[in-house]
A and B are shown apart, each in its own frame.
Chain A
Amino acid sequence: MTTAEIERQWTTRLRKRVAGHLPPEKLLPDTQPAYVSSWIYVFGVTTIAALSMVILSGIILAIRGPQWWHSSSIGHFINSTHLWSVEIFFFAMIVHLWGKFFMAAWRGGRSLTWVTGVVTFLASVGTAFTGYVSQTNFDSQWISTQAKDGINATGVGSIFNVLNLGQMLMWHIVLLPLAAVILTTIHVLLVRVKGVVPPFEDEKGTTK
């Protein structure tokens, strides 16, 4: 193979692109700028930690199934772990997004980081909603019958039927979590590519 041919291969081109944008020391840095030592920067990783707990407890619920989580005490416990991890997930995500909003963290070519955050938020709301209607109890029946008219009025009802438990369960445990995890990965990789946004003063070069 000639050098020109090797240069044209997609594997070669992709490797060079990835290595250019995200060399190992940028992907897994040793240090961060001094302004990152504030509690407000902890909420992104808190959101990741909560998301990990959500997925772990969700996997256990999927292994044992509804009869188990409705009737055994360990099932109740894992079910509650799943719910409360979701509460912490949204709590941390909202504090995180307020922090980024007031820092205007989309500055300096970071708009995609913000946008992937917004889309992850929307995907998470959808995941939580389909989770509520997948509980297989009176609560999920109530929520789905309350939601159906609103959702059907948008026209989405033709392909997304909140009264269809099988469909809602598959959106909840396959499609939406997959979307949330992929989006979160892209979101965090974008932060690594661009580096943490400097404070306003630093941008003008007025701080030490």
Chain B
Amino acid sequence: MKVLMTGNEAIARGAYEYGVGVAAAYPGTPSTEILENIATYKEIPCQWSPNEKVALEVGIGAAIAGARTIVTMKHVGVNVAADPLLTVAYTGVRGGLVLVSADDPGMHSSQNEQDNRFYGPFAKIPVLEPSDSQEAKEMVGLALEMSETFDTPVILRITTRIAHSRSLVTLNEPVERTAKPYSKDAKKYVMIPAYGRARRLFIEERDQKLGAFSETCPVNRIEAGSEPNGVGILTSGIAYSYVKEAFPQAPVLRVGLTHPIPKQLITDWAQGFNHVIVVEELEPYLENQLRAMGLPVLGKPFFPPFGELSVQSVQAGVQAALASRGVAIAIPETNVPAPFTAPMRPPVLCPGCPHRGVFYVLKQLKAVVSGDIGCYTLGTMAPLDGIDTCICMGASISGALGMEKAHPEMANRIVAVIGDSTFLHSGVTGLMDIVYNGGTSTVMILDNSITAMTGHQHHPGTGQTLMGDPAPMVDYEALVRALGVKRVVEVDPLDIKQVKAVLKEEMAVREPSVIIARRPCALRVKNDRPLIVENCKGCRACIGVGCPALSMDPATRKAVVDATLCTGCGVCARVCMFDCFRPGGE
């Protein structure tokens, strides 16, 4: 049977079909739906871990114990998990271990666009790159087999366009799901230097074997074709689909195992052409390896090293590359009409979002806000303008300490804001550091009791697991008190008067304090009664809270509430200078 699946659904299906016995992840676009889909196959134990490092370590334990295991994360998550990754590369595994890295060229929903293929040569482990959903599924099987055969973790590297594009997938019956028996093997799994050195030698042998395997691995595929100028195109991942669309007749070498690459196969293939062009998204990762092999390939100067490729940029790049060798080719003319200039439609905090009022107050108090990653990062957008920095998950709290050390006189203005999921991901150690190293910054935990940004995943503070079972909930107050924070206050973020009073007091105090702003995500509670406006004087104060349900009627210059969007949260009512908002009818 063939069905239309996203790459993420296909990878989940692969986990099901190829006998995966344990799955773990921390959510992150564009990887999140993999685990959500694995959770629909009830026979696979799967879980959200508090962060990517923990998820990978859970996976490593499972694989060492003997289960086929999959761990998934977004590209920057691999940085968090890099420590265990670079050493499980030494120990190898018993059951197959696949790490899915979902990269985000074009930064559709990420803070950077690093090219994670480099983790392959860095950790000396194989990297597989599918070009569509069918391959994404099959490569889960190949990765598990390679992992077990060569005793190595394997990276399955996808990008947003693979993760979130749908194409046809053939479904097969699952193989039997059994874990291999466990037995102790300290020399292999205890990485003290003496044992580590032995494994280091093993890695070199393994690399050789993988290199030989790559030469005949069917995912490195030569597609014959004809092109009058003797051009051959080497490509990988989603770029392959653009190449096929742009130059359907051209000879292609599609590299599917992008570490280690099949050097002999490539060298022999390249012999047949006057011009070999490398078409790859992001860094010149393959290109640089081919150059190091002495192949005079054409590549990056002619294709952008950032953002996503497209059929048109591939056509233009190939044309420019060949022109540099004095070869002229015709490409379809693209007479794209100039776009109209339309006002942007940036993503916004939802109507009723409990984060909104907090940023409104922080702006009023002229706080220096050390920000973090989550829905609340949208508090940086106008009119709230409420965030000074955002680097990576967890950096708000530790960053606030650094700011305070650099500018002690600023200490009473510095506030770190962090979401509940992000606090548990990597905020706790930063707070420990504030207490330990004499910081006085105020930390606000914006507890909407869910990982909202990535689509509402549970975490250790929500009381439920990925498999739907009830779970104990982290007690934030007890946790931060245990770290040594003496001042802990809980506020209702919709009550902006209270938020303001508490923030003022805690910012002024010369010791660490934590404010827990608690209110569930507005998308997870039933719509309350929308507000109505009476006798609006047109003061526009409510517009300053930046709510999509509120606008000024251009004709009457009065505020209007969109009753289909308004949740009745009342933040606007609290800032209105003339008290014009009332609860509406049903």
Say whether A and B bind each other: no
